[in-house]
Structure 1
């Protein structure tokens, strides 16, 4: 039995390269590209593996790019299960400009997915024997064309009916609709939080009150709001509120920080940690990810060192 399953309907084959200077209408000589598996839940599973845990990544994969993505996951030792789709898995591109240190990220929209393809993931959840059900399912990332906005809501309905805990990390209508069904944990950022109460924006002074409102309305049992370099805010259904402030580190790239944070949190939940410890370890993993270049995720040794610092300064 896999205690943690991640779901990624819009995974990506991430290609990274370096160039001295980005300029228009010029042929730019890039260095040899580096390929990595990508997409919300895929990255969560990869980060869990890096932190010493295990999960099973459920994903849609199609075409040569999908085959390459699965090959890379296999090399990393990440367990996965795929729905083979007709269209090709998307490819994203990241170009690092050496002269300035700037990153240029190009995200593709993803392939058109047929109903019988995305519905297979729901069927898997429905058909699992009770003894095979995971403790936690992480539904993370954007939804590709062809997948309805209420997909994560449908996963939430199954979770509430079958008894596993659902963690959702997405944005837009998919986030709002999933929250409407009620999930165990939501992890919006500061820009996504207002959408959960029908607002376009909220001030810094309003954030805590809005977070409490989200939880009191039954949209989740635990709300963790990512505050970027400032760490995270935790609000739980028993009224507990806490702030975890991340230490200042030398940041190389913010790519993968959110996925690393989710990985740290779900791994801590499996280990039976308190909610404060869960968020503290999540912040440590997210901060560790910012210390790595390009699209690399957190490193275990960095995460443990930051977590130790957070415990000493709580």
Structure 2
């Protein structure tokens, strides 16, 4: 079983709670309050470890809220390497309105990172010992757009494979650095990278295959929400429709997909089987309101409902 490490440059303390009805100005009493460590890489590690794998979390943490994030990561029994920063770790909120079953999500931009802080992160990553590094999530203010590309250039010569899940310029620079094991954009993120509208499954498959054919990634998995997902690989692109379930939350669905697919790849499964497992994991994440992410029992149950490929 291969080991992974994850990098979260802009982590969060994820807070979720329920209200009877959203009303402006009025004080709204909440219940079902829940706190969890969040951010792309941390979410991937939570699900990966939950499934039985080994993962180390690299992340930035600071300010008055930094120790709270550190403590939450410890509660989830994740191995961690903290890079200290001056700015406060952000707090993201997800509020479920029971009257409408709609979820409202509030996500701050995050602290500004000074150059010595992000350079220290590069130095720490240069010492990492893992088989696969997952670069996941947005870059906070102050970090250069090509940061993930710099990480890739440091780690690939050491034989460490790279999984990339980001957006905007950070995603573009990372893809263009090349030689990636897996890229997992959403439909919107791939559209932004391609520079034109992707309004059909065929257009999405073509754009994903272009990345594979250019040698920039072995696998490109494009998540399309309730529509399903596309997997591009050397043999061509395949599509799998989403499971018909009642979604309670959208928090961490993409991260759960990445963790599930990667876990199966680390076990030695082929990419098609791993893709099916990723679909089940992403679907499992949305079953529960809040920040719970995917759970193995839900994944196993939904995997049985996922059509074969």
- TM class by shorter-chain length? over 0.9
CA positional deviation for 1:275:
0.6
Gaps of 5+ in 1: none
In the alignment, structure 1 residue 178 sits paired with structure 2 residue 202: no
Paired with 1:281 and 1:32, the residues of 2 have a C-alpha distance of 30
- The one-character-per-residue Cα deviations of 1:68-110 (angstroms, maximum 9, x if unpaired) are 1111111111111101111110111222112111111110011
Mapped contact 1:92–1:106 kept (Cα < 8 A): yes
Aligned to 2:193: 196
Gaps of 5+ in 2: none
Paired with 1:32 and 1:271, the residues of 2 have a C-alpha distance of 36
In the alignment, structure 1 residue 135 sits paired with structure 2 residue 131: yes
Instruction: Give the TM-score, by structure 2 length.
Output: 0.94
- The one-character-per-residue Cα deviations of 1:37-72 (angstroms, maximum 9, x if unpaired) are 111101111111222222011101112311111111
Aligned length: 307
Aligned to 1:91: 91
Secondary structure, aligned partner of 1:191:
helix
Secondary structure, aligned partner of 1:84:
strand
Secondary structure, aligned partner of 2:134:
strand
Change (3 A) 1:68 1:247: same
Between 212-221 and 290-299, the greater mean CA deviation after superposition: 212-221
Mapped contact 2:4–2:132 kept (Cα < 8 A): yes
Aligned to 1:40: 40
Secondary structure, aligned partner of 2:65:
helix
Paired with 1:2 and 1:72, the residues of 2 have a C-alpha distance of 25
* Aligned positions of 1:51-200 closer than 5 A: 51-128=51-128, 133-182=129-178, 183-197=180-194, 199-200=195-196
Paired with 2:288 and 2:29, the residues of 1 have a C-alpha distance of 24
Between 63-72 and 264-273, the greater mean CA deviation after superposition: 63-72
Mapped contact 1:52–1:300 kept (Cα < 8 A): no
CA positional deviation for 1:134:
1.2
CA positional deviation for 1:31:
2.8
Task: Find 2:210's aligned residue among 173, 192, 213.
Answer: 213
Task: Find 1:267's aligned residue among 263, 269, 277.
Answer: 263
CA positional deviation for 1:2:
7.8
Secondary structure, aligned partner of 1:21:
coil
Secondary structure, aligned partner of 1:94:
strand
Mapped contact 2:17–2:33 kept (Cα < 8 A): yes
Mapped contact 1:232–1:245 kept (Cα < 8 A): yes
Aligned to 2:8: 8
Instruction: Give the TM-score, by structure 1 length.
Output: 0.93
Paired with 1:229 and 1:52, the residues of 2 have a C-alpha distance of 28
